[in-house]
Structure 1
């Protein structure tokens, strides 16, 4: 059925539910698990009068975010391995979360993407869209979305 699952997580309670389900599914079908956390780049403003932040401070903040992401996927990997599921922890750096998920699924040859529905509601959803919706629309492999 499935040989390799990608689970996208951000450490939130809803994504933890997706992680639990992905580990259970991987265990049931004997699949490997790839846990992915996408770290955003620090936003830099170029508008006149904007607050200027030293490059060292930006690097420190991005490293802090990356360390948090690594801790999240390491915990997923450890939980999966404790359940007898072979797992890999991956951190990606990008502002394009959905594209990073799709790219990782392709890179690691995953045949299922598991993720939570983090969609925005109302006008924000119309204007900004949804990472989950983008993955659903552009994925070449099945996507399991958990609510």
Structure 2
């Protein structure tokens, strides 16, 4: 049924639970599993401050720190994939909008299912914090499995 499953993770326990669901589906359907972590770009203000503080290449340093951050997120997901015997492709995208990155990668990779977690915030919390899951749901025609 599904051949290319995009699994969005962010390091939260809930996202890890979502990844477990996505990996189980990938195993069941012998599907390709793409595990996506989206990191924020270095802000211009932070870059200027780092340069003013004497840092030579703040962008390279930030990129190395984000690589380490993503490795920590991907570790438990990779371990679970190995336990299930599921091959995964770990992908990191940098974008101000995780929803934009999720939709872009899903399209580029020909995904037929997106798996992601939602904290289920409502009211003012949702308005202030935004909902990447709601944004993905509103903008895609692909099936989306939302884990809560």
SS of the aligned residue for 1:41 comes to coil
Distance 1:58 1:25 in 2: 37
Unaligned runs of 5+ in 1: none
> How does 1:58-69 map onto structure 2 within 5 Å?
58-69=59-70
Please report how far the alpha carbon of residue 13 of structure 1 lies from its aligned counterpart in structure 2 after TM superposition: 0.5
Q: Is the 8 A contact 1:39 1:91 kept in 2?
A: yes
Higher helix content, 1 or 2: 2
Unaligned runs of 5+ in 2: none
**Structure 2 vs 1, CA of residues 102 and 57 (structure 1 numbering), >3 Å: closer, same or farther?**
same
SS of the aligned residue for 2:146 comes to strand
Q: Is the 8 A contact 1:9 1:15 kept in 2?
A: yes
Distance 2:19 2:38 in 1: 15
Please report how far the alpha carbon of residue 106 of structure 1 lies from its aligned counterpart in structure 2 after TM superposition: 0.8
Distance 2:82 2:105 in 1: 20
Q: Is the 8 A contact 1:39 1:93 kept in 2?
A: yes
**Structure 2 vs 1, CA of residues 123 and 45 (structure 1 numbering), >3 Å: closer, same or farther?**
farther
Please report how far the alpha carbon of residue 64 of structure 1 lies from its aligned counterpart in structure 2 after TM superposition: 0.4
Q: Which residue of 1 aligns with 2:49?
A: 52
SS of the aligned residue for 2:92 comes to strand
Q: Deviations over 1:58-88 (max 9, x none)?
A: 5313320123214433542443133122211
SS of the aligned residue for 1:109 comes to coil
**Structure 2 vs 1, CA of residues 10 and 128 (structure 1 numbering), >3 Å: closer, same or farther?**
closer
In terms of mean alpha carbon deviation, does 89-98 or 74-83 score higher? Answer: 74-83
Q: Which residue of 2 aligns with 1:31?
A: 31
Please report how far the alpha carbon of residue 14 of structure 1 lies from its aligned counterpart in structure 2 after TM superposition: 0.6
Please report how far the alpha carbon of residue 128 of structure 1 lies from its aligned counterpart in structure 2 after TM superposition: 4.8
Please report how far the alpha carbon of residue 25 of structure 1 lies from its aligned counterpart in structure 2 after TM superposition: 1.4
Please report how far the alpha carbon of residue 119 of structure 1 lies from its aligned counterpart in structure 2 after TM superposition: 5.0
Q: Which residue of 2 aligns with 1:139?
A: 140
